[in-house]
Amino acid sequence: MLRGVVRVYKEITPEKEITVFVRSKMDSVGEIGIFSGDTYSNSAQAMTETVLYVIERETMERIMAENGRIGLHFTRWIAESLEASKAKLRDYLSFGSEGAVASFFIRAANSSGKQMPDGILIKEQFAVQDIAKHLGISRETASRIISRWKQEQMLEKRYRHYLIKDLESFRQMLSCETCGVHNCVL
């Protein structure tokens, strides 16, 4: 991707989606279904004006067949992407809505967080509705969880940005110490 932001998501029902990941400049977006058939497992949506490079399946297969090193790098990229997606699903399914919201804030901190004296400021702006849509939960549920964390002083809203005051509580909630994913981002 030369520039822009792309959201890759899975449609659960016509009214409900879960964001699998968000990619931006110099990232790659791919669909493993390209090698297994005509049905894709996810959809993608440009969130901003985006310029992409495209490699057709036949070209990718030829490049990988001719250069084992590229094939190895591609395989590693796919494995890392699958591990990150699996960890995100683990957070959402094993720890419920609260775990999903905690996972969102950890990943947002890793993606666009800035260390401040009193916590980690998430530089990207997110409305409660954005968080809920990202996770496939209701706005009311996300709002209730975030409000409780604000009362418990784990989280604070500062000029349209969230400040995570107690990242360690979120990590403990999700047992992050047992997770092997190094690319834990949105």
In this prediction, residues 144-151 reach a mean pLDDT of 96
- Report the distance separating Cα 29 and Cα 1, nearest Å: 8
In this prediction, residues 122-131 reach a mean pLDDT of 91
Give a three-class secondary structure readout of 6-44. EEEEEEEECCEEEEEEEEECCCCCCCHHHHCCCCCCCEE
More confident residue, 106 or 20: 106
- pLDDT at residue 39, as a whole number: 67
The pTM of the full predicted model, rounded to 2 decimals, is 0.74
62-77, pLDDT tens digit by residue?
A: 888 898 898 888 888 8
